[in-house]
Structure 1
Amino acid sequence: MGAVVPRVEPKMIEPWPEISRRTLLTTPVFTLGERLRCHPTSGAAHPFYVLETGSWVNIIPITEAGEVVFVRQYRHGTGQVHLEIPGGLVDAGEEPEKAAVRELLEETGYAGEVAYLGEVHSNPAILNNTTYSYVVRNARRVAVPELDATEEIEVVTHPLTAVPDLIRTRVITHALVICAFHHLGLLAG
């Protein structure tokens, strides 16, 4: 028989009051900020570092034939080519759904019927943004992709039914892409 573990009463977690904030670095993609915050119980001041960036969108385009339209591209953070779904930054003042439609068209030349899937905080420990996921059904090629000067993308398709194996075998490793497929699975039942 195991030892009895005493019951721990739930604690109300409070926001940490902000004492000050300052910008340490500004780049075209993010701002690194330092937030001095006060521990709500001890009163001690602690610095925290936040990457402030715009929100992102991810799009799962599915053709009438049940193929997912993916993009393959080199990612400088890992130094590897990744299989991902189309996505990108939400422009200032832009609605996430409009950004999803725009990014899909720019990266792949595809369009279709867009629907919201869900959203996640990309990494709330250090990032202040949200990633919104959408599905585009009946996706079809309607234009030639218009890539940014810093993009080189290969558009490829895989059957939707192959996605679990692509994740399991680590062909797809991008966490936010996996979250989008999780949202799609939750809506499917």
Structure 2
Amino acid sequence: MKPWKLLETKYLVDAPWLKVAKEKCELPNGKVIDDFYTLWQPDWVLILARTATGRWVMTEQYRHGSQTIELEFPAGIINKDETPKQAALRELQEECGYRPCEAPSSDCHALHTKYLGSLPVNPDRHRGKFHIVFIDGVSKAGGTHFDSTEDIESSELSDEELQTKMANGTFCHPLQIAGYYKWKLATR
């Protein structure tokens, strides 16, 4: 099997948070597709943060795409100068006011923070990916620092409560559920 050959790209939307391209591609069999549309958004980090008592840190916020208030794990865009782990620690503090251990030392972060890898957002048409970071032993330590567009409430759920919410559709973000199961499989 061979990849497609990209012949031409025309950006229909070229903004910092979203790019939409119309691409002309040649398939290995010689067929040419004149209008294959792709999307790009910045890479982001999914934060699976668990307290010392085994409860998951969760957020609720309005999501305009679905026009609903959604239960989610904390998450956020990775800045250009950050690793996924650094972005996870920053976003967890900013969105929820949590961090690992009592003191914000790098040794403490390294002991409790594990990078689980990345997954594509949608390999068919989307060029972005999300990174999964597990942070164990977090506790409330300080206030939140929301961006001007954020209004977030935090809570904690046991693993059983989280799985019940997955089963009944209260927690329904498919990429976040995939990240949770990636963690679950890594800890078997």
Q: Same fold (TM over 0.5)?
A: yes
Choose 1 or 2 for highest CA Rg. Answer: 1
- 2:59 matched to 1:71? yes
Q: How does 1:51-66 map to 2 (within 5 A)?
A: 51-66=39-54
CA distance in structure 2 between the aligned counterparts of 1:60 and 1:44, rounded to whole angstroms? 42
Post-superposition offset of 1:64: 0.8
Residue 156 of structure 2: aligned partner: 157
Aligned length in residues: 177
Contact 1:83 1:172 in 2 (8 A): yes
CA positional deviation for 1:35: 1.5
In the TM superposition, what is the alpha-carbon distance from 1:88 to its structure 2 partner? Answer: 1.0
TM-score (norm 2): 0.89
Structure 2 CA distance for aligned equivalents of residues 55 and 180 of structure 1? 14
* 1:66-145 map, 5 Å: 66-112=54-100, 113-145=112-144
* Partner residue, 2:6: 18
Contact 2:84 2:115 (8 Å CA) reproduced: no
Secondary structure in 2 matching 1:62: strand
Per the alignment, in what secondary structure is the counterpart of residue 163 of structure 1?
helix
- Structure 2 residue runs without a partner (length 5+): 101-111
SS in structure 2 of the partner of residue 144 of structure 1: coil
Q: How far apart are 1:43 and its partner, in Å?
A: 3.1
- The CA RMSD measured in Å over matched residues stands at 1.2
Q: 1:49: which partner in 2? A: 37
TM-score (norm 1): 0.89
Q: Counterparts of 1:45 and 1:166 in 2: how far apart (Å)?
A: 42
Instruction: Determine helix, strand or coil for the equivalent of 1:128.
Output: coil
Structure 1 gap ranges (5+): 1-12
Q: Which runs of 4+ in 1 moved over 4 A?
A: none
Query: What displacement does 1:46 show?
Result: 3.0
